[in-house]
Structures are given as C-alpha cells and as structure tokens.
C-alpha cells in the first residue's frame, strides 16, 4: 500500500507529473533538482521516459547547456557531431583549449572530468571569479591531485560554492559528473549568477521507515522535526516501552529484549517510575534499568532511559534526584550512540510548561549536555504529554531535543493527532514515547480501529514511538498474555490482542 501511494503523493506535492521519470525515484536525493532543471529545459530526459541520472555528462552536453544559458549561438563546427557548432564557439571563446577536446565524436562524448567542468563553468558564468588557495586547499583533501592547469578553475568554482567536496572532503578532480550531480551544480551556478530564475532545490534525504538499529544508523540527531541518522536520513524508531521496572524486571532480560528486536523493533524504552515503590523509595530499581539498557544496546536497539514521573506530576518535585540520576547515566553512557534520555514521563495535575516543565527541562538539559553534548533528549509536556500548544509557543533552546506526545487509542483521537500535526507544522519535533491501544488507564478496549488511524498517522509523518507496554499484566495494554515467558523468544500465541497489533506494525 505504502509503496503505491508514495509516488502519487510526491507527484501531487511537486505538481509536475510530466517530469516524473521512470528512473528517478521519489526519494532519490536528486529528485527535486532533476525535476527543476528538466522542467526548465536545461537538461532533458530521454524518449523512453528515463532521465539516466547516474550516467556521466559529456563535454558536449555541458558545453551545449552553458551555451544556451549564455545565449551563445553555435558557429560552424568542424565535424558532423550534433554539438560540433557549440563546441567550436566555446573553443573560440576560450572556455576550453583545443587539446582538451580535439574535434572527434569520442572526445566530445567522453565523460567530462570534474576539474575540466569546473574550469568551463567558471569561464562561462563567472569569468572574474578567483578562489583562495589557502581555504580551498585545506577544505579539499585531495586538492594536490588537481592538475596544474585546472587549479584556478577549481579554486574559483569552489569559492563560488558551485562545486564542493564529497562527504570525505574529496574533490575527485578526475572523476566524471553524473547527470544528477550536473543538475544540482548548474542550479547552484545559475542561482549564484542570477540567471534563469533558478532556485536551489533541497536534496531529498532518504526516509528509512523502521530503520534498523544502531549499527545501521549510528548516533542520531534532530534536523528540523526529523530524527536523523548519521547520514542525515530520516529514522523512525519503533519499539516497546517496559511497564514499571519495579514490577516487571523479567522483561529487561537479554532474552526478552532480543525477542522484541527479533520481531522487528529497533528501540526499547525503560520506564523507571519515581513513585509507587519506584526509584525514590527503592533506588536499586536503577540496576534493572541498566540491565535493560545494556541488553538493548547489545541487541543493536536504541535505548530510552525514562524518568517516569506519574503520581506526582510535577517534575520539579524530584528535580535534585533526577539531576543526580541523569548525571550518573550520562557519565556511564557518555558518547554511546544508542542511548536517549527522557527526562520526565508525563507531567500532569496542576503544572504548566512555563511554570514547571520548562524550568526543569532547562536545568536537566544543561546537566546532561555538560557531560554528553550531543545525546537526544526527550521532554514531556502538561496533561500527560498532550498540551503541545504550550511547547509550540515557547520551545526550549538547543539542539537534539524532541518533545513527547502520548496517546491511548480509547481516549485520544483526532483532536490529539491535530495537535501533533500542528506542532510539527510549527517546527516542533515530536516523539511518541508512549502509546497504547487501550484507554488512558491502560485498560479497556482494545481500540484497534482508532489505533490503526494513529499508526497510519505516525507512519505518514515518520514519527518514532514506543508502545505501552512489554509485560504480561492482566490489562489490555499489555502486549503479552499473562504468564508469557519472553526469554526464549515471543511467539504469536504469547501476544495479546494488543501485542499482535503492535508487533505487526514494526516492519
């Protein structure tokens, strides 16, 4: 279903059905630039409705495009090649030297190297531009392999921001340019030169729905509202939350966590209650949490350390204990790519974002950041993580922060999805660190139809989430039937009605 809908949606958004090439995927990084440049007629597709984005561009093609842009008319060319006239006038204008492309079809059709392309683009569009040797040679690690006659061109192209290094900082002077790369380069050049009313398109960062684990994604970060992996691709974490660790420590074992991972989850959340015989009165529950976190990491799953306030809904009540706890955790897991901190489960009661949660979050974030400057930090909001509008009007400062929204399908419906959508539209990154198929008390239902609406909503917005809960309690939100033993894997017969639904949306 998803696969069919995606291209249609992309086409609707772009509104340019005519430029949809059969070999340009809707999530290819270059889809926007190819659409833009082919739409404007700078590069065209082929008769078979392909664009051949990965093919190299030839000297003849680049020179022809630049000639058309500059309004240079073809002169009488020396050969029967289709671009011969444009090649000749470019030669006359000194865009290239005769020995670079002697007038044979093979030479004209050869993939143009990046260093010659830089020279030609600069000559054609920025004849006055000069680059700074010191800056560029430091930024481009393979600068020394640029041939002497192209150094000026490469420096100038680099200084104009038309050509940049690859992810490893290499310029690859002798490599070819793909047609997709050429589109993006021309976009930058034209926009810089103020020609053709060209805007530079955003590269598309590939979406990885249900995105595998730590080894595939590395340390995560937040870009806009997206949770991203180390390559800037969108990541969706989809997994389970434990129930209260003081009650169900057995579901933090290596075997149980592995079982959840084997069923397709890539994240586990460890709910360490403060009250109800939790950490404040029984601090040793921390060891259960650590066992669980270590088991998740060992199974290539992200691990959320959840300071589970609930009965006392004011995060300020145990602020000092929380700071000491997160200081210890941040020191223990400093720099670990898999660990995520959730600093207050569900503020509730007579608390507000401005009065209680934000001041608490500011202090906790400072505490964690002073030890681990990059970790993802999840922050709750009032009314059991539903009063998102307060966050929208006054978000926290700093990077890699996401805000939690929690829902239970039997209680929270379209109105809460609307709040999430509106928060996302305002640039607020949302993580649903707890959701249930039951009503808000963890019982009743299950409400599968409404839960499906939520799952569709989360999928189409790439929202990461953890389901409440991995336990065998006799309540409808529990994913496992009473008495289930997860240590040796979780089979279908051990899944409750909720668990069957939840586990089926992991993949």
Q: Which string of x and - marks every residue 471-490 that binds ligand DCB (by CB under 6 A)?
A: --x-x-x-------------
Q: How far is the CB of 385 from ligand DCB (least distance, A)?
A: 8
Q: How far is the CB of 20 from ligand DCB (least distance, A)?
A: 44
Binding window for ligand DCB (CB under 6 A); candidates: 49-57, 280-288, 356-364, 403-411? 403-411
DSSP state of 73: P
Residue 444 and residue 463: Cα distance in Å, rounded? 25
Residue 219 and residue 340: Cα distance in Å, rounded? 10
CA distances from 454 to 176, 407, 415 (A): 46, 9, 11
Residue nearest to ligand DCB (CB): 442
Q: How far is the CB of 246 from ligand DCB (least distance, A)?
A: 10
> From start to end of 191-350, where are the E strands?
207-208, 221-223, 226-228, 234-235, 238-242, 267-273, 302-308, 339-342
Kindly tell me which residue out of 171, 403, 468, 503 binds ligand DCB, with binding defined by CB under 6 A: 468
Q: Does 441 bind ligand DCB (CB under 6 A)?
A: yes
Rg (CA), the chain: 28
DSSP state of 133: H
Residue 71 and residue 224: Cα distance in Å, rounded? 40
Q: Is 354 left (phi over 0), alpha (psi -120 to 50) or beta?
A: alpha
Kindly tell me which residue out of 61, 181, 314, 346 binds ligand DCB, with binding defined by CB under 6 A: 346
Q: Which string of x and - marks every residue 264-293 that binds ligand DCB (by CB under 6 A)?
A: ------------x-----------------
Q: Return the number of the residue (56 or 404) whose C-beta is nearest ligand DCB.
A: 404
Q: Which residues are catalytic?
A: 346, 434
Binding window for ligand DCB (CB under 6 A); candidates: 55-63, 113-121, 279-287, 405-413? 405-413
DSSP state of 198: P
Q: End-to-end CA distance of the chain: give it in Å, rounded.
A: 13
Name which of residues 417 to 436 contact ligand DCB (CB under 6 A): 434
Nearest to 60 by CA among 71, 70, 68, 49: 68
Q: Does 372 bind ligand DCB (CB under 6 A)?
A: no
Say if CB 447 and CB 438 are below 8 A apart: yes
Q: How far is the CB of 168 from ligand DCB (least distance, A)?
A: 44
Q: Return the number of the residue (367 or 437) whose C-beta is nearest ligand DCB.
A: 437
Residue ranges binding ligand DCB (CB under 6 A): 244, 276, 310, 345-346, 384, 406, 408, 411, 434, 440-442, 468, 473, 475, 477
């Amino acid at each position: 279903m998803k696969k069919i809908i995606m291209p249609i949606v992309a086409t609707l958004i772009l509104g340019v059905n005519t430029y949809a090439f059969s070999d340009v995927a809707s999530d290819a990084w270059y889809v926007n630039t190819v659409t833009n440049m082919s739409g404007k007629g700078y590069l065209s597709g082929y008769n078979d409705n392909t664009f051949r984005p990965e093919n190299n561009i030839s000297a003849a093609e680049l020179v022809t495009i630049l000639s058309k842009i500059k309004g240079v008319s073809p002169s009488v060319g020396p050969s029967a090649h289709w671009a011969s006239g444009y090649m000749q006038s470019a030669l006359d204008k000194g865009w290239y030297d005769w020995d670079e492309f002697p007038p044979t079809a093979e030479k004209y059709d050869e993939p143009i190297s990046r260093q010659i392309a830089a020279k030609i683009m600069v000559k054609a569009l920025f004849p006055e531009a000069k680059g700074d040797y010191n800056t560029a040679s430091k930024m481009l690690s393979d600068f020394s392999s640029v041939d002497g006659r192209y150094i000026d061109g490469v420096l100038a192209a680099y200084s104009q921001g038309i050509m940049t290094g690859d992810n490893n900082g290499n310029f690859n002077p002798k490599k070819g340019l793909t047609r997709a790369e050429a589109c993006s380069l021309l976009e930058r050049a034209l926009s810089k030169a103020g020609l053709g009313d060209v805007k530079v398109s955003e590269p598309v960062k590939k979406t990885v729905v249900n995105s595998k684990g730590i080894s595939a994604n590395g340390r995560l970060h937040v870009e806009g509202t997206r949770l991203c992996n180390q390559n800037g691709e969108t990541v969706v974490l989809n997994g389970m939350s434990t129930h209260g660790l003081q009650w169900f420590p057995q579901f933090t074992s290596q075997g149980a966590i592995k079982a959840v991972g084997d069923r397709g989850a890539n994240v586990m959340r460890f709910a360490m209650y403060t009250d109800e015989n939790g950490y404040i009165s029984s601090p040793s529950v921390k060891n259960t949490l650590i066992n669980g976190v270590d088991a998740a990491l060992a199974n290539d799953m992200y691990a959320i350390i959840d300071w589970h306030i609930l009965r006392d809904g004011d995060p300020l009540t145990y602020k000092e204990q929380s700071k000491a706890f997160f200081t210890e955790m941040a020191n223990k897991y400093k720099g670990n790519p898999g660990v995520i901190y959730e600093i207050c489960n569900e503020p509730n009661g007579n608390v507000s974002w401005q009065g209680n949660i934000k001041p608490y979050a500011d202090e906790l974030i400072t505490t964690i950041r002073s030890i681990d400057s990059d970790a993802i930090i999840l922050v709750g909001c009032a009314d059991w993580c539903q009063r998102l509008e307060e966050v929208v009007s006054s978000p926290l400062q700093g990077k890699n922060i996401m805000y939690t929204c929690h829902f239970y399908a039997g209680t929270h419906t379209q109105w809460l999805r609307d709040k999430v959508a509106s928060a996302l539209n305002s640039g607020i990154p949302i993580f649903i660190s707890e959701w249930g198929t039951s009503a808000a008390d963890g019982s009743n239902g299950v409400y599968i139809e409404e839960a499906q609406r939520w799952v569709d909503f989360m999928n189409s917005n790439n929202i990461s989430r953890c389901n409440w809960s991995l336990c065998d309690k006799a309540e409808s939100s529990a994913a496992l039937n009473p008495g289930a033993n997860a240590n040796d894997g979780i089979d279908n017969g051990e899944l409750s009605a909720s668990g069957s639904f939840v586990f089926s949306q992991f993949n």
